[in-house]
Structure 1
Amino acid sequence: MMQMYKNTKLFYRSIGTGNPLLLLHGFLESSSIWDPFVEELSKRRQVITIDLPGHGKSGSLEEVHSMDLMADAVFNVLQQLKTEQVTIIGHSMGGYVSLAFCKKFPILTKGLVLLNSTPEPDNEDRKKNRDRAIKIIKNNKESYVSMAISNLLSEKNRTCFPKELEKLKNEALNFSEDGIIAALKGMKIRTDLTSTLTLYNGPKHIIAGMSDPILKFSDIQTIAEATNSSFLSLDGGHLSFIENKRELIELMHFID
């Protein structure tokens, strides 16, 4: 289904009824990453998936897709669906958007799950990497997409999921250059939302890969303890929806 927001199309799906669960994908991904999960989860509840601005079948809104802007886009879709409260699972960038949504719309947030994600902002090195990525994309988007996605798996899993990685890469190559860059700029300027997670009183969980090449496992474990969030670890890297699919489906059944 399509929803217009700021004269731009946002693609979303809603399957099943009752106890809404919103699944938000990460950077260089789309709502299709949740396809293996939706059929089973929707047997028990309503499952909503959205292509965030500049990703999948959704258009780009502005030059910079801040996490607040993407949270507003999510809110617009939920209004269309007349959803009053929702549990959110956000992968990586989707986790950043989930926290921004929670800060702006706490009453609407029934539960929160950060999957391979963090409430902390980019450090200075990470910000410089965002700038370098933007330059690479402008010169060779295909090379950047291939490199960026391959580097998300744990070292031992990099040769284990060739079909899944190829699907991710092929889909990301169809995203506009402007949409990819807008997300990079938005992630670069995101603020520290650790206090938002700490103050949130609903069910909150952090799921981390023990061999995540992007987020240091021990740091995420410390954040979970500091924010009083339930902490769950998986034997994999940054793409738990691929590397730990069966375990993740089981966890999703018991998050609220």
Structure 2
Amino acid sequence: MTITYKNTPVFYSTKGTGNPLVLLHGFLESHKIWLPFTDKLSSERQVILIDLPGHGQSGTLSDVHNMELMAEVVREVLNNIGISEASIAGHSMGGYVSLAFYEKFPTMVKALALINSTSEEDSEERKFNRDRAISLVQKNKRSFVSMAISNLLTKKNDQKFKGELNILKEEGQKLTENSITAALKGMKIRTNKTELLAQFKGQKIIVAGQKDPVMSFNSVKRVAKKTNSTLKTFPDGHLSFIENEADLLEIMLLID
């Protein structure tokens, strides 16, 4: 299904009934990453999948897709469906959007699950790397997308899940240069949400890969402890929805 927000199409799908769970994808991804989970989850509750701005079948809204703008898009979808409260699980960038959503619309959030994500802002080094990435996208988008997705796994898993990664890369290549850079700029300027997460009284789950090449495991552990969140760990990288699909599903079935 598609709604229009600020003259721009936003894609979403919904399946199941009761106790809504919103699933948000990460950077260069789309709602399709959650399709292997949808049947099982929707047998117990309503599951809403959304293509965030500039991703999947949703259009580009701005030169900068900050997390707050993406959160507004999520609210617009929920309002359109008629949902006033939902649990939210987000992978990587989707986790950043989940926290921005809670900050803007606190009464609408029942539970939060950050999957391969964090409440912390970018380090100075990470911000520098975002700028480098923007430059690379403008020079050679195809090369950037392929490299960026391959860098999310350990070398071993990069080969083990080659087929799954190729599908991800194909989806990523469909994104425009503008949509990719808009997300990079938005992630770069996001603010620290650790205190906000600590104040949240609902269920809080953080899923982390011990060998995540782009998300410091020790940093995520520190966030989980500081925010009193339940930490679930896997021995692999940044794409738990691929590397640890069955075990991640079991965790997602526990979300309130």
How would you bin the TM-score normalised by the shorter chain?
Answer: over 0.9
Task: Give, as a single letter, the amino acid of the residue that structure 2 aligns with 1:155.
Answer: K
Task: Give, as a single letter, the amino acid of the residue that structure 2 aligns with 1:24.
Answer: L
Task: Give, as a single letter, the amino acid of the residue that structure 2 aligns with 1:119.
Answer: S
User: What is aligned with 1:142?
Assistant: 142
CA deviations 1:19-69 (Å, max 9, x no partner) are 100000000000000010001111111000000000000000011000000
> Aligned with 1:146: secondary structure?
helix
**Structure 1 residue 156, shift from structure 2 partner:** 2.4
User: What is aligned with 1:189?
Assistant: 189
Gaps of 5+ in 2: none
Gaps of 5+ in 1: none
Task: Give, as a single letter, the amino acid of the residue that structure 1 aligns with 2:34.
Answer: W
1:126 aligns with 2:153: no
1:42 aligns with 2:42: yes
1:183-222 matches, cutoff 5 A: 183-222=183-222
**Structure 1 residue 176, shift from structure 2 partner:** 1.1
> Aligned with 2:11: secondary structure?
strand
Runs of at least 4 residues of structure 1 off by over 2 A? Answer: none
TM-score relative to the length of structure 2: 0.99
CA distance in 2, matches of 1:202, 1:155: 37
**Structure 1 residue 15, shift from structure 2 partner:** 0.5
Aligned length: 256
> Aligned with 1:158: secondary structure?
helix
> Aligned with 1:242: secondary structure?
helix
CA distance in 2, matches of 1:169, 1:212: 19
CA deviations 1:144-163 (Å, max 9, x no partner) are 00000000012321110111
CA distance in 2, matches of 1:127, 1:163: 31
**Once superposed, what is the RMSD of the aligned Cα atoms?**
0.6
Task: Give, as a single letter, the amino acid of the residue that structure 1 aligns with 2:31.
Answer: S
CA distance in 1, matches of 2:45, 2:30: 21
User: What is aligned with 1:71?
Assistant: 71
- The answer as to whether partners of 2:158 and 2:165 remain within 8 angstroms in 1 is no
User: What is aligned with 1:87?
Assistant: 87
CA distance in 1, matches of 2:201, 2:154: 33
Q: Percent identity?
A: 55
**Structure 1 residue 172, shift from structure 2 partner:** 0.7
User: What is aligned with 1:56?
Assistant: 56
TM-score relative to the length of structure 1: 0.99
User: What is aligned with 2:235?
Assistant: 235
CA distance in 1, matches of 2:226, 2:154: 26
> Aligned with 2:192: secondary structure?
coil
Task: Give, as a single letter, the amino acid of the residue that structure 1 aligns with 2:235.
Answer: D
- The answer as to whether partners of 2:26 and 2:90 remain within 8 angstroms in 1 is yes
Task: Give, as a single letter, the amino acid of the residue that structure 2 aligns with 1:75.
Answer: R
**Structure 1 residue 85, shift from structure 2 partner:** 0.8
CA distance in 1, matches of 2:208, 2:33: 17
- The answer as to whether partners of 2:114 and 2:207 remain within 8 angstroms in 1 is yes
